[in-house]
Amino acid sequence: MDFELSQDHKVLQSAVRDFVEKEIKPIAMKIDEDHMIPDDLVTKMGEMGLLGSYLPEEYGGAGLDMLSYAIVVEEVSKACGSSGVLISAHTSLCSGPIYTFGTKEQKQKWLPALNTGEIIGCFLLTEPDAGSDAGGTATTYRREGDEFIINGSKTFITNGGYQGTGILLASYDRSLKHKGISAFIVDLKSPGVSILKNEKKLGIRGSYTTAFAFDDLRVPVENLLGQEGKGFNIAMDTLNGGRIGIASQALGIAGGAFERALAYSKERKQFGQPISEFQAIQFKLADMWTRIETSKLLTYKAACLKDAKRNYTMESAMCKMHASETATFVTKEALQIHGGYGYIADYEVERMFRDAKITEIYEGTNEVQRVVISKLLLS
């Protein structure tokens, strides 16, 4: 059992760190203040290969693996949680299911523009009443000739504001619950798609979180993803992989907050010495680092299991749950170490504290993760 990253992964990690230091870190606070990620940064991330890390080169991806993807999201999120979740949702929730369940023609049509970042993708599952309960999907579809007609609404859609490509879940018979759901690849600039609003949020303010309405949206039959009536299976598989991305984002936010707290504790002096000399601060740093390292082991293990094509359902739920709770804990302690300055927007831990909480909520709340884990244990 080897706990060291391979040389290739170390090179990737170093390259992403350099990119983040140069392109993202200097504008991370502005991204939060402006509630948007600059288009030129999205373009640069695409050129760097960060938006198609584990997708094959034949479709414009970087041809790396799932562990590489986790490292990318983690390193970006150390500076900017909003940029980290853009990559995560785009890659694992849109490009990923097209690659996994799409036909060769669908992959050739949709993946190249997604993998280069020319188009930003999203996953349209959550609804105002159903939440992330795919079985409670109220958005409906019917077939008319060579088209499907979709009506309904979606909310809390990460990356939705780009109006790029979306994977949309809809039901042809709500009485069938999860058995009546199908998945579709949709162009969100099509007639029949309306943005209701882009949400104003506590954290990850640079990330678009969008509510949509669909009024007789016409989708070509060839845009059906996978088999009709199998959308629930696609959703569950997609969310399973997506949790690795959220865990990586949380891991990065926690790591970034820890780095800043550690540096501050060495610089800040009280009673004639750096506060890092006080045992109370040392205990905080020890607890923070221990949780980060255990979260990293869980997250990297889940990514490696997915790469090995082994079952990773429990591991993805555990890493998402543990890493997100670690992010909340670590950013809170980082703020505490900064004292009153931690509450000031000029210090980055204030933003990271706000960014961390959402990782406990999306891709299924941590209560959902505990249900998944316990059911697997009991079975």
Query: What local confidence, expressed as pLDDT, does residue 363 receive?
Result: 84
Helix (H, G, I), strand (E, B) or coil at 150: strand
Query: What local confidence, expressed as pLDDT, does residue 129 receive?
Result: 85
95 band by pLDDT with thresholds 50, 70 and 90: very high
Is it the case that residue 1 has pLDDT exceeding 80? Answer: no
Query: What local confidence, expressed as pLDDT, does residue 165 receive?
Result: 98
Q: For residue 159, what are its two tokens? A: 């990356």
Closest alpha carbon to 327 in 158, 199, 157, 204:
204
Query: Do residues 135 and 177 touch, judged by C-beta distance below 8 A?
Result: yes
pLDDT tens digits, residue range 18-72? 999 999 999 999 999 999 999 999 999 999 999 999 999 999 999 999 999 999 9
Query: What local confidence, expressed as pLDDT, does residue 319 receive?
Result: 98
Query: Do residues 76 and 251 touch, judged by C-beta distance below 8 A?
Result: no
Is the four-CA dihedral 368, 371, 374, 377 of positive or negative sign? negative
Query: What local confidence, expressed as pLDDT, does residue 240 receive?
Result: 95
Query: What local confidence, expressed as pLDDT, does residue 198 receive?
Result: 96
Query: What local confidence, expressed as pLDDT, does residue 135 receive?
Result: 79
pLDDT tens digits, residue range 263-303? 999 999 999 999 999 999 999 999 999 999 999 999 999 99
Query: What local confidence, expressed as pLDDT, does residue 310 receive?
Result: 97
Is it the case that residue 78 has pLDDT exceeding 80? Answer: yes
Active site residue 363: yes
- Tell the residue number behind the tokens 């429990």, with chain if given: 314
- For range 232-260, the mean pLDDT: 97
pLDDT tens digits, residue range 161-204? 999 999 999 999 999 999 999 999 999 999 999 999 999 999 99
Enumerate domains of the chain plus CATH numbers: 7-115 (1.10.540.10), 121-230 (2.40.110.10), 233-378 (1.20.140.10)
Q: What are phi and psi of 309, to 5 degrees?
A: 60, 35
If one counts every other C-beta atom within 10 angstroms of the C-beta of residue 277, the result is 14
> Which range is least confidently modeled, 2-6, 15-19, 45-49, 143-147?
2-6
pLDDT tens digits, residue range 318-332? 999 999 999 999 999
132 band by pLDDT with thresholds 50, 70 and 90: low
Query: What local confidence, expressed as pLDDT, does residue 176 receive?
Result: 93
Q: Give the mean pLDDT of the chain.
A: 97
> Which residues partner with 269 through β-bridges?
274
- Cα–Cα distance, 139 to 95 (Å, whole number): 22
| Sequence-ordered strand ranges (E) for the chain | 121-124, 140-144, 147-158, 165-171, 181-187, 193-198, 209-220, 224-225, 269-270, 273-274
Catalytic-labelled residue, pool 74, 315, 360, 363: 363
- Kindly report whether the global pTM for this prediction surpasses the value 0.85: yes
